[in-house]
Structure 1
Amino acid sequence: MLVPEKLERFQIKYINPVMAPIARFLPSFARVTHYGRKSGVAYEATVNAFRKGDSISIGLIHGKTNWSKNVVAAGGAEIKLFGGKTVRVTNPRYVEQGQGDPALTAATRRVNKRAGVLVADIVG
């Protein structure tokens, strides 16, 4: 985890509610729709997602968060990309710090030097 715990709590409480409505207008921001592993309740998370070919990669600077665990457990999710396009992803997997993966973009390769990355394949 690259973000200190106090900053993470501040981000969750104050920054995320402000960013969620405007994220769709900002390049690299995306909304991941996922479902709770136990509850089955639908949730959305705002992330920075980068596309390379038929793959999406998302840096995990907060570590393996609930949304990423939900996506891996479900075997996929829907991601609404910048510009409004929604894609379905499958085969989500963690790329541990420093391991690298051909699906990583330049931005997520930089993140991967210090943190893990979630990579998934785009379907259709």
Structure 2
Amino acid sequence: MSAVQRRLARFNRTFANRVVGPVLTRMPGFGAIIHRGRKSGRAYRTPVKVFKRGPHYVMSLPYGPQSDWVRNTIAAGGCELHTRGRHIRLHQPHVFTDPQQTVVPAPLRPLLRRFKAFDFIELRPVETPATEPVRP
């Protein structure tokens, strides 16, 4: 990550995410990842760009796979996604590089290409067990 990207990431983490995050996460295609710090155990909320890929969720990593939220998610084996009023528990994180950005809708590829966002993380929703009917 370049010095400019690091400064932008720091600015977003300390200011922009707090101001724009609550509004942005209600918009289509966006969400917030709720994750816990690897050392502190503190809960964090990070706005992300979300794409569906079959039943899985994919997020672009414009600051790379070494971002704190990505490392926290991998260490914990999952996280929670809040998107459009829904809360989805996710697990089995898989980080990958896709230079052709095939997981991204075609209209968004030029924008992500401009930011050199070729890294992604894919997570699977946790299956909630079906509840058994109560027997009298």
Indicate whether the TM-score tops 0.5. yes
Aligned-partner Cα distance in 1 for 2:34–2:22: 14
Question: Whose Rg is larger?
Answer: 2
Q: Which segment is superposed worse, 8-17 or 54-63? A: 8-17
Structure 1 stretches of at least 4 aligned residues deviating more than 6 Å after TM superposition: none
> What runs of 5+ residues in structure 2 fail to find an aligned partner?
128-136
Aligned pairs for 1:73-84 within 5 A: 73-81=75-83, 83-84=84-85
Q: Which segment is superposed worse, 110-119 or 35-44? A: 110-119
- Contact 1:55/1:122 (<8 A) preserved: yes
Q: Percent identity?
A: 32
Aligned-partner Cα distance in 1 for 2:10–2:73: 22
User: Structure 1's 28 and 4: CA in aligned 2 closer, same or farther, altered over 3 A?
Assistant: same
Give the total of aligned pairs: 120
Aligned pairs for 1:1-124 within 5 A: 1=1, 4-64=5-65, 65-81=67-83, 83-98=84-99, 104-106=103-105, 110=109, 111=112, 114-124=117-127
SS at match of 2:41: coil
- Contact 1:52/1:105 (<8 A) preserved: no
SS at match of 2:62: coil
Question: CA-to-partner distance for each residue in 1:32-55, whole Å, 9 max, x for gaps?
Answer: 111111222211111111122210
- TM-score, with normalisation over the residues of structure 2? 0.73
Aligned-partner Cα distance in 2 for 1:99–1:92: 21
User: Structure 1's 100 and 26: CA in aligned 2 closer, same or farther, altered over 3 A?
Assistant: closer
Q: Give the alignment's Cα RMSD to 1 decimal.
A: 2.6
* Greater RCO structure (CA 8 Å; 6+ sep): 1
- TM-score, with normalisation over the residues of structure 1? 0.79
- Contact 1:34/1:42 (<8 A) preserved: yes
